[in-house]
Structure 1
Amino acid sequence: MKFKILSVMCSLVVSCHAFAKEYHVNGANTSKGNGSIENPFQTIAQASKVLKAGDVCYIHEGTYYENISPKNSGTKKKPIIFTRYKDDIVIISATKPIANWEPYSGNIYKANNVNMVLGDGNNVYYNHKKMQIARWPNDSDDNEYSLDAKFIDKTKGTWSMSYISNLEIPNIDWTGGIIHYLGAHSGCSWERAITNYTPNLHRVHFKTLPDKWPFGKTHSPQRLENGHRGIFYLMNKLEVLDAPNEWFYDKQTKTLYFYAPNGEKPTKDIVEVATRSHTAQIYKNHIHVKGLNFFGGMITIKGNHNKITNCMVKHGAEKLITNLNGAALKDAAIQVLEGYHNSIEKCVLEHGTLNGLYLDRDAENTTVKNNIVQYFNTIGIHAHLLNSSGARNKIIRNSFYGSARDGVKVTGDDSEFAYNHVQKCLISGADGGLFYVTGRSIPKNIEVHHNWFHDAYSDDNHAGKKATGIYLDNNAAGYIVHHNVVWDVEWAGLHFNWNAIKNEIYNNTFWNVGKPEEAVINSWVPKRNGVQTNVEDNILYNNFSDVRPWWDSGDGKKYRVDEKEFKGKEADNDFKNNEQYAKRPFLVEEGKLFMPFKDASVIDKGLKIKNITNNTKGKAPDLGAYEFGGQAWVPGVNWTPKHFAWTPGSDYKKLNTSSLK
């Protein structure tokens, strides 16, 4: 009997292994194939139809103009795997190559019978670089973050909520074009279809803006700030196609016009147009995607226990925001819209007008670890390098670089944001932060620790100087912020607004955060019942900074919070054991950055805090983010990208410490 049972069990094991198969895909095959290595499938879609739990799909070298969309789920022990064959370079593209170009005018060429059906998502790529829709004035420096825009006329009668004027606007019929506008407050851009043009007034008209945020009196010509009422440029007319990299699509005749970067006929190099919004839609469970490259479209996950590992996504979320009635879109290079225990690890995400990574509120227990995410939110709305609103998400050891507005946003209950490097944000916007959140005065229990936040300032002269480090904006509550370093920002290291309550700020280092006369901490709070109030019930211990005011508050006119409010009976916040130093008490040399000098005055001067200062090396914790004799921790990715289709930009490795010396 025992022998029979053992025989049956062995048979079951053999049968289970027999069901797990390897399938091969090679677009170079001249037949549809059967999935074997000798006769591979032509398309990934063929494999997706037959893959079952435990199966592996090996994709051979080439570019595949299709979408990874598995039809079945894997299991915990037997996931379905999509991966490259050996070290082959595999690109999954949401584009289509365009050939058969003919001269149009000068250096401009045209291609007929081109179907561009994505509307605001239409794009043209040249050698895998996004080109510029025809515009005035031209993008003179080939940099999407520097807007190369014009100021609107600001005298009475030259602007309204439905038109703007500027005497330099070329006198062509702008009807059907698009206006891109960034207001004087510089917090959020918008785009509108142009409905009419008045030549003698050089005035473009558009549908009346809503009288509500983000428009209203905040992001519209009604707002006069920084000496102007906003900047703009105009797009999408053939008459202004006059510079390298520009294109225009006539949807009536299905004709694409293009001025190639070198001005030559675009035949030697690859020209592609966007044809789909996605490169992968993972709507099943236990799907693993490894070692692939994705171009021109998003990866969307709706499922559980899926993994994206060692992949590169380039130009994943590129679109205009014409007639958007809000301030944000979910579109991202990788977006997890729902599901549990999904993970994104050791990936490179580069270039997008919108978000890099987006984890929606129904995406819980997600792990985002060791990724490079750079050059997103070029369009300047409320988009981010990472936006995470799901509960219990862990964002660990990532490198984030480059955003027109905010850097990262984490608002999901019980989440963790740790050992990340966030830099170079608020490039063309203002009133934001490298770490930016809002809330409802309900504590979220979100831990933000052991991160570097630096380089937040606008590169242009239109924006208000309002770029901060850690921004706990309207009613943010329950953030435990400890052992972070914030430096080289133009507007405070830490910012509270409105009813920001019950936040805990421990052992952070703030250095060179704004002008010397400006405070480390800023708040915007209104008067209530005629009495000036402040944010409440926040705890701030063991932090240090260079010498400057500690705290400014107010509702337009600042008042300075002094030691009496910190310590007196009327204190709104528990502010204790924070110090300032005229000379930096830490090292700036490589491998020891921010570590205290030997005998520095920060050593052993901290208060013990449960679950926060557990790694004390001396008699008491040190002030600030680093412990003398402890680990000289360095945040961000700890691996080198290799074997991708494109060489990643190196900006994520930058470390500007000149202002610290």
Structure 2
Amino acid sequence: MTNQTQSMLRLLLLALVLCPFWAFSQTVFYVSLNGSDTNPGSRTKPFASIDKALVAARRTAGPVSIRLFGGTYHLTQLIRFTAADSRKANEPLALTSTDNQPVTLSGGAVLTNLHWKEGSNGIWQTPIAQDLIFDELIVNGQRQRMARYPNYDPSARFLGGTAADAVSAERAARWKSPDGGYVHALHRAEWGDFHYQITGKNDKGEPTLEGGWQNNRRMGMHVRHRFVENVLEELDTTNEWYYDKKAKILFFKPPKGLALKAATFETPQLTHLVEFTGTEANPVKNIHLSGLTLTQTIRTFMQNREPLLRSDWTIYRGGAVLYEGAMNCSLANCTLYNLGNNAVFFNNFNRDCQVSGCLIREIGASAICFVGDPKAVRSPSFEYNQFVPLAQIDRTPGPKTTNYPADCKVYDNLMFDLGYVEKQSAGVELSMCQGITVSHNTIYDLPRAGINVSEGTWGGHIIEYNDVFNTVKESGDHGSFNSWGRDRYWHPNKRVLDSIVATNYDLALLDVVKPIILRYNRMRCDHGWDIDLDDGSSNYLIYNNLCLNGGLKLREGVGRVVENNIMINNTFHPHVWFKNSHDVFRHNIVTTGYLPIGITNWGQEIDHNIFPDSVALAQARQRGTDQHSVYGDPQFIDLGKGDFRVKDGSIALAAGFKNFPMDSFGVVSPRLKKLAKPVPQPTLIKLDKVGDTESIQFMRATVKNLTTLEERSATGMDEARGVLVVCVPIGAEAAKFLQVNDVILSFNDKKINTLRDLFEARLLVIGSSTNVVVFRNQKELKQEIELHEKR
């Protein structure tokens, strides 16, 4: 044997060692809507059902691929992977499409044998011969609306339109038989939502309700923001429908131009489409779904009732794709849309699983959830006002068991139009889990947080390179990123809580045993904070984030290090800290002065930051912070293009700030980047540059400092104080409560003398309502106002 031949053999053997067996040999089973389960499952003779292919895969060694020919597969039962389907790491099972043909897995049933007849007021009706669940109606792929009051208004901020009298006796008098109707409402404090089923009427004619368990802080429904649906008498506008279950008649008011007889009508029948059902002892392993579209599942808002420790959340443990007891399983390059509940749910034990490259839109609740077992938590409590006495707290760090999701990844997913039913929802929800990486996702247009961490258990998350905006659209007091840390040491009485942390500091770190990292994210919230670390959030490293509108808030907690972040048109919001928080805030660029609430001790280090002007820095130094901080124009490179790096020679660099990339936020795959909506770029407001004659925009009205004798005379003011309203465009948010020549004297209970006062007062508003006092027609007028815009 020659040396050359020996070398070639060695190379071949090396290739065989390095390259897995399945790269050379793979069994493929095909499934087609036109197939037969008596076929062998070949390309020319495919199976008819996915279940048949799974049975064949279980009997087959080596890597297996189940490939679906194009079309819509209307599932009559969910696809379930069990431990019997598990594969070796080098012998995975893949469920995908054939040659990238469009494949849809649908939980909906097509309505057949429809006989439409037109009734009064343009409402058509047809008998339904099939025995079906009617929870939603899909017409030609578009979700329609249950008959509702008030009618759906796309311009309304909350719930598509609300009315205080939605459940009044006067309104209910119109309803002959409202049983089975629903009432949907915001939480009284706008911390999510409540849902109820109508069970009848009481002796006062008021609807009787069952429900209201969908929020962990049950304060009752909002007095104004509520609506009713699934009541026949409220069917009065196009695209509304109602199904009479007793008579089995479908009522529908079609839009003009819809050919009823040619249209496709569907209604979801399944709650889940795909389940991975294993256990820690016997998991489902090495199964990968890719290139599929999943759609049409039933809403689960009445099943959402399990409290998640002391967060504001309750949860329904399920979704279109449910993982429980899975290891090294993935969902990749799929589209999930028109789903009535959660899209993807990781329940209890899961390890090394991934969701990547997916488009997730039009989702009734959350996009992706990771939720562990409460029995894994030491000294758990489940409602905000519950607590464990100090002497009874288990002081062992970390979890009791391993029955929770860990070491999983959410990467390169585009998520938008979420929470169309359930408002206490998120793009990514993390609760009782550890080591979840959330990276390079784009998340927008949703009612509450884009990314939510429900409590400290058990930390270790890396949240990086995400683009999160247009959040908190139907709620209040929240952020694009939100967290709570009401862990085992928590007590609802602030004085007691302060004393616990003062004498037992380590208790605050027993659950969040690994730091949670937020880095390289771009976030914008127009109805709250960009980054909101609420009650007790502890052990966070927050660096190199770009906050475009809502700033950053730290409520009581310990061990937070916040450095090298940029806050545009906003600032740092420290709220009611512990005396020994050991918090650090340094090398950050803020563009307005700090806005503290209830702070008596400023942590370990608040210094070396960059302020917009001397006034803001002087205010900080008067509080005892920022002795080495600086002020001035940071000299951003290109505001118009969203490049907030600073130029060479910037005062920010001299103060220790370091530039970080501005082109790495959000999704990375070309398909998703093309679909993603761009983040709204802010116009930088520089309050120190506004002179006596200059004006700024406030909620789209033009305002300026009232300074001249002429302005005093025109308004009737007794002295030069307040902010003068110069222009109010028709349709502006400010037009609801301001008129030209008004003088704003107070906003959000803060006295207004200058534009800076007004701007900072707006930043301090929590929720969607506040008050304003204006001087108009020679007298002061106080108004309670609803706010839709952040500023």
Matches within 5 A, 1:408-557: 408-410=451-453, 412-439=458-485, 440=487, 441-442=508-509, 443=512, 444-457=514-527, 467-489=528-550, 493-497=551-555, 499-513=556-570, 520-524=572-576, 536-548=581-593, 550-554=594-598
Aligned pair partner of 1:309 in 328, 332, 335: 332
Question: In the TM superposition, what is the alpha-carbon distance from 1:573 to its structure 2 partner?
Answer: 4.3
Q: Given that residues 584 and 603 in structure 2 are in contact (C-alpha distance below 8 angstroms), is that contact kept between their aligned partners in structure 1?
A: no
Q: Given that residues 114 and 255 in structure 1 are in contact (C-alpha distance below 8 angstroms), is that contact kept between their aligned partners in structure 2?
A: no
Distance 2:558 2:347 in 1: 30
Q: 1:596 to 1:197 in 2, by over 3 A?
A: same
Matches within 5 A, 1:220-231: 220=221, 229-231=223-225
Matches within 5 A, 1:260-271: 260-262=254-256, 264-271=258-265
Q: Give 1:63's aligned residue.
A: 72
- Percent identity, please: 17
Q: Deviations over 1:394-453 (max 9, x none)?
A: 111111112112221135421100000011111111011111111123344110100001
Q: Given that residues 162 and 224 in structure 2 are in contact (C-alpha distance below 8 angstroms), is that contact kept between their aligned partners in structure 1?
A: no
SS of 1:48's partner is: helix
Letter aligned with residue 494 of structure 1:
L
Q: Give 1:557's aligned residue.
A: none
Q: Give 1:141's aligned residue.
A: 154
SS of 2:51's partner is: helix
Distance 1:500 1:282 in 2: 37
Q: Given that residues 149 and 231 in structure 1 are in contact (C-alpha distance below 8 angstroms), is that contact kept between their aligned partners in structure 2?
A: yes
Q: Deviations over 1:169-223 (max 9, x none)?
A: 6622334422111244211211112234479x7743325968995223xx445xx
Distance 2:348 2:108 in 1: 23
Matches within 5 A, 1:145-544: 146-152=159-165, 165=168, 171-173=174-176, 174-197=178-201, 203-207=206-210, 213-216=216-219, 219-220=220-221, 229-262=223-256, 264-283=258-277, 284-297=284-297, 298-302=320-324, 303-316=326-339, 318-319=340-341, 331-335=342-346, 337-361=348-372, 362-389=404-431, 390-410=433-453, 412-439=458-485, 440=487, 441-442=508-509, 443=512, 444-457=514-527, 467-489=528-550, 493-497=551-555, 499-513=556-570, 520-524=572-576, 536-544=581-589
Q: Given that residues 483 and 507 in structure 1 are in contact (C-alpha distance below 8 angstroms), is that contact kept between their aligned partners in structure 2?
A: yes
SS of 1:595's partner is: strand
- The alignment yields a C-alpha RMSD, in angstroms, of 3.2
Q: Give 2:610's aligned residue.
A: 579
Q: Give 2:108's aligned residue.
A: 95
Distance 1:256 1:44 in 2: 32
Q: Deviations over 1:588-639 (max 9, x none)?
A: 3576611102322111321xxxxxxxxxxxxxx53xxx25xxx444310122
Distance 1:73 1:521 in 2: 49
SS of 1:391's partner is: coil
Q: Given that residues 336 and 343 in structure 2 are in contact (C-alpha distance below 8 angstroms), is that contact kept between their aligned partners in structure 1?
A: no
Q: Deviations over 1:102-121 (max 9, x none)?
A: 2252332324124333x7xx
Q: Deviations over 1:327-365 (max 9, x none)?
A: xxxx43454553110111111111112110112231211
Letter aligned with residue 520 of structure 1:
F
Q: Given that residues 361 and 416 in structure 2 are in contact (C-alpha distance below 8 angstroms), is that contact kept between their aligned partners in structure 1?
A: yes
Question: In the TM superposition, what is the alpha-carbon distance from 1:487 to its structure 2 partner?
Answer: 1.7
Distance 2:30 2:211 in 1: 55
Q: Identify unmatched segments of 5+ residues in structure 2.
A: 1-15, 278-283, 298-319, 373-403, 488-507, 614-632, 686-791
Matches within 5 A, 1:594-613: 594-606=644-656
> Which region of structure 1 is more displaced relative to structure 2, 100-109 or 352-361?
100-109
Q: Given that residues 104 and 110 in structure 1 are in contact (C-alpha distance below 8 angstroms), is that contact kept between their aligned partners in structure 2?
A: no
Q: Given that residues 147 and 428 in structure 1 are in contact (C-alpha distance below 8 angstroms), is that contact kept between their aligned partners in structure 2?
A: no
Matched, 1:85 2:88: no
Q: 1:39 to 1:396 in 2, by over 3 A?
A: same
SS of 2:327's partner is: coil
SS of 1:469's partner is: strand
Distance 1:235 1:211 in 2: 18
Q: Given that residues 300 and 335 in structure 1 are in contact (C-alpha distance below 8 angstroms), is that contact kept between their aligned partners in structure 2?
A: yes
> Which region of structure 1 is more displaced relative to structure 2, 343-352 or 242-251?
242-251
Letter aligned with residue 194 of structure 1:
I
SS of 1:456's partner is: coil
Using CA pairs below 8 Å that are at least 6 residues apart, which structure has the higher relative contact order?
1
Distance 1:347 1:211 in 2: 28
Distance 1:409 1:430 in 2: 14
Q: Given that residues 434 and 456 in structure 1 are in contact (C-alpha distance below 8 angstroms), is that contact kept between their aligned partners in structure 2?
A: no
Question: In the TM superposition, what is the alpha-carbon distance from 1:38 to its structure 2 partner?
Answer: 1.2
Q: 1:202 to 1:125 in 2, by over 3 A?
A: same
Q: Identify unmatched segments of 5+ residues in structure 1.
A: 1-9, 154-163, 222-228, 320-330, 458-466, 514-518, 526-532, 555-560, 607-620, 643-647
Distance 1:130 1:239 in 2: 21
Q: Given that residues 344 and 367 in structure 1 are in contact (C-alpha distance below 8 angstroms), is that contact kept between their aligned partners in structure 2?
A: yes
Letter aligned with residue 635 of structure 1:
F
Q: Given that residues 347 and 370 in structure 1 are in contact (C-alpha distance below 8 angstroms), is that contact kept between their aligned partners in structure 2?
A: yes
Distance 1:193 1:335 in 2: 28
Q: Given that residues 313 and 333 in structure 1 are in contact (C-alpha distance below 8 angstroms), is that contact kept between their aligned partners in structure 2?
A: no
Q: 1:213 to 1:77 in 2, by over 3 A?
A: closer
Distance 2:569 2:24 in 1: 63
SS of 1:83's partner is: strand
Q: Given that residues 196 and 211 in structure 2 are in contact (C-alpha distance below 8 angstroms), is that contact kept between their aligned partners in structure 1?
A: no
- Structure that is richer in helix per residue: 2
Matched, 1:659 2:705: no
Letter aligned with residue 269 of structure 2:
T
Q: Given that residues 195 and 212 in structure 2 are in contact (C-alpha distance below 8 angstroms), is that contact kept between their aligned partners in structure 1?
A: no
Q: Rg: which structure is higher?
A: 2
Q: 1:636 to 1:308 in 2, by over 3 A?
A: same
Q: Give 1:22's aligned residue.
A: 28
> Which region of structure 1 is more displaced relative to structure 2, 363-372 or 134-143?
134-143
Distance 1:333 1:78 in 2: 25
SS of 2:88's partner is: coil
Question: In the TM superposition, what is the alpha-carbon distance from 1:537 to its structure 2 partner?
Answer: 2.0
Q: 1:165 to 1:537 in 2, by over 3 A?
A: farther
Q: Give 1:637's aligned residue.
A: 667
Q: 1:380 to 1:552 in 2, by over 3 A?
A: farther
Q: Given that residues 634 and 651 in structure 2 are in contact (C-alpha distance below 8 angstroms), is that contact kept between their aligned partners in structure 1?
A: no
The number of equivalent residue pairs is 552
Report the TM-score when normalising by structure 1: 0.76
Report the TM-score when normalising by structure 2: 0.65
Question: In the TM superposition, what is the alpha-carbon distance from 1:571 to its structure 2 partner?
Answer: 4.2
Q: Given that residues 373 and 401 in structure 1 are in contact (C-alpha distance below 8 angstroms), is that contact kept between their aligned partners in structure 2?
A: yes
SS of 2:52's partner is: helix
